[in-house]
Structure 1
Amino acid sequence: MRGWWREIAGLVLPVACGGCGRPRTELCPRCREELAGPGPRRVRPLPEPAGLPAVHAAAPYADAVRSVLLTHKERGALSLAGPLGSALAGAVEAAAGRWDVSETGPLLLVPVPSSRRSVRARGHDPTRRIALAAAGRLRRRGRAARVVPVLRQRRNVADQSGLGARGRFANLAGALEVVSGGARLMEGGRVVLVDDLMTTGASLTEAARALSAVHLPFIPGQGGATAENGGVESGFVRPMAAVVACSPSSFDPNRN
């Protein structure tokens, strides 16, 4: 009900820019340009955790980008999923690189799951919504893509926002698993983990661990895929990752 009401309210109530608050615009040109960032690039948190897949991000998490993400996630400005999805689509393309769909299948966007408690409190799942928007944008660009929400939380976790780096990793260790039948949904495509934001890399590391435990018995056309290029090694899922934003220090080109 809460998510439905937000959808209706967004159609009839005055809007303001999700980045700077400028009235009568969902996202002003200046904030839209900031969300696009300097172009997607490989990013690494410091320190970089073992097991973190190669991550590409669209923009640094600061100023207008931070405001847009929070406005979408916490304030329920659902229409912002479109521009956020466009930014994520660019990061997915950068992560995927040259990927021949005719030989190896579509891009499979796997969202890092939110807790059921958070989804109930917010009235929506922000990462999944952005992932769906990104997949739609990729298809309009001529790239086969779909969202496969195969990860779920196997136990309750604490709110990550109040935890330091060590606490985040301890909080998430072993918390995710692949749903029954999830391996079949990932066959024949290139798996890309997606999230709205990376800080310490704890969520993506745990998501990658959960996927790496899944064995795919038959992957058509992926004989040459390797762990390094985000494919499959010995039949196990080896994902890449893409996010809308990450901390500015992780985005520093001198470290990547």
Structure 2
Amino acid sequence: MALLPDLADAFRDLVLGVACVACGHPGRALCRSCHAGLPASAAAHWPTPTPPGLVPPYAVGDYDGALRSMVLAHKERRVLALASPLGELLARSVTQALAELAVSGPVVLVPVPSRPRVVRQRGHDPTAATVRAAVARLRAEHDVVSARLLRVRPGLQDQAGLDAAARAANLAGSMAVPATSLRRLARGRPRAHVVVCDDVLTTGSTLREAQRALEASGLSVAAGATVAATRRRAPAAGRTPTFGPSLPPSPPTD
């Protein structure tokens, strides 16, 4: 006789040590209840200050709670089963971007690259895996593929602990599109719209650098898409909010 769902989950936790990363319920990396409670839609989330020229960046919610637990467990603890629900969330960000920006035709999702040393240490590339899972969700309604077009230069510092200005300086000129990757894309999808994808939007510097490198190679970048976005500290009274589905702050006039 088949085990009841709760007993089956308890059995998997006992044998495999699996538990929900959000609530600790045994049996699944993300339990049914927490999965059902994930954000159902996405919106544009502009960082403040916004890097000049940044394409609209989309996310499903704050980098907090279940979203933060999922991203960290997938990235740092190799809970590989989370690639699918994270891909589902990323797909919602991409869908919202394509709808709001009226993008039609072929679309290419380009993951932000990780440093090769970091990928070796982790034993996997979490962003690339999440993007592949998003493509699997999107293919029913869009002509979409993923392509790892970007490479990072050696010597890039870890971004953790850097403020917005330091992140921008660290990332400046750090990414490029190899000619072989560009030729391969041109043969298959010469007029594709590009959406740059990452797990978390913080200051926008990483997305902006990826956008710069892709546009420098002649590609059209439509938007950025992430799973979550960090909530920045509230500004002084009367200033533009630091987080939320709002327009970016006006650029300086000087």
**Structure-2 separation of matches of 1:79 and 1:40:** 22
With the length of structure 1 as denominator, give the TM-score of the two structures.
0.80
1:83 aligns with 2:82: no
In the other structure, the counterpart of 1:196 is 199
**Structure-2 separation of matches of 1:254 and 1:206:** 22
Amino acid in structure 1 at the alignment position of 2:151: R
Q: CA deviation at 1:252?
A: 2.2
The aligned runs of 1:129-168 (5 Å cut-off) are: 129-139=129-139, 141-168=140-167
**Structure-2 separation of matches of 1:166 and 1:34:** 35
User: Which structure 1 segments of 5+ residues have no match?
Assistant: 1-9, 216-235
1:246 aligns with 2:253: no
In the other structure, the counterpart of 1:55 is 57
Q: CA deviation at 1:195?
A: 0.5
* Aligned partner (choices 207, 210, 214) of residue 211 of structure 1: 214
In the other structure, the counterpart of 2:69 is 67
Amino acid in structure 2 at the alignment position of 1:171: N
Higher gyration radius (CA): 2
**Structure-2 separation of matches of 1:18 and 1:30:** 12
| Larger deviation, residues 55-64 vs 83-92 | 55-64
Q: CA deviation at 1:92?
A: 0.6
**Structure-2 separation of matches of 1:163 and 1:89:** 29
Amino acid in structure 2 at the alignment position of 1:125: D
Secondary structure at the aligned position of 1:205 is classed as helix
1:28 aligns with 2:11: no
- In structure 2, relative to structure 1, the CA distance for the partners of 1:113 and 1:42 (3 Å cut) is same
With the length of structure 2 as denominator, give the TM-score of the two structures.
0.81
CA distances 1:178-207 after superposition (whole Å, capped 9, x unpaired): 012333315221111000011001100100
- In structure 2, relative to structure 1, the CA distance for the partners of 1:188 and 1:124 (3 Å cut) is same
**Structure-1 separation of matches of 2:166 and 2:27:** 41
**Structure-1 separation of matches of 2:146 and 2:55:** 19
Q: CA deviation at 1:251?
A: 4.6
- In structure 2, relative to structure 1, the CA distance for the partners of 1:200 and 1:34 (3 Å cut) is farther
The aligned runs of 1:119-134 (5 Å cut-off) are: 119-134=119-134
- In structure 2, relative to structure 1, the CA distance for the partners of 1:253 and 1:95 (3 Å cut) is closer
Number of residues paired by the alignment?
221
Amino acid in structure 2 at the alignment position of 1:50: P
Q: CA deviation at 1:18?
A: 1.9
**Structure-2 separation of matches of 1:211 and 1:182:** 11
**Structure-2 separation of matches of 1:163 and 1:32:** 32
- In structure 2, relative to structure 1, the CA distance for the partners of 1:255 and 1:50 (3 Å cut) is closer
CA distances 1:67-118 after superposition (whole Å, capped 9, x unpaired): 1100000000011000000000111111112444xxx3x2100000000011
Q: CA deviation at 1:38?
A: 5.3
In the other structure, the counterpart of 1:180 is 179
Amino acid in structure 1 at the alignment position of 2:154: R
Amino acid in structure 2 at the alignment position of 1:107: V
The aligned runs of 1:32-47 (5 Å cut-off) are: 32-35=35-38, 37=39, 39-47=41-49
- In structure 2, relative to structure 1, the CA distance for the partners of 1:192 and 1:46 (3 Å cut) is same
Q: Which runs of 4+ in 1 moved over 4 A?
A: none
8 Å CA contact retained: 2:56, 2:224: yes
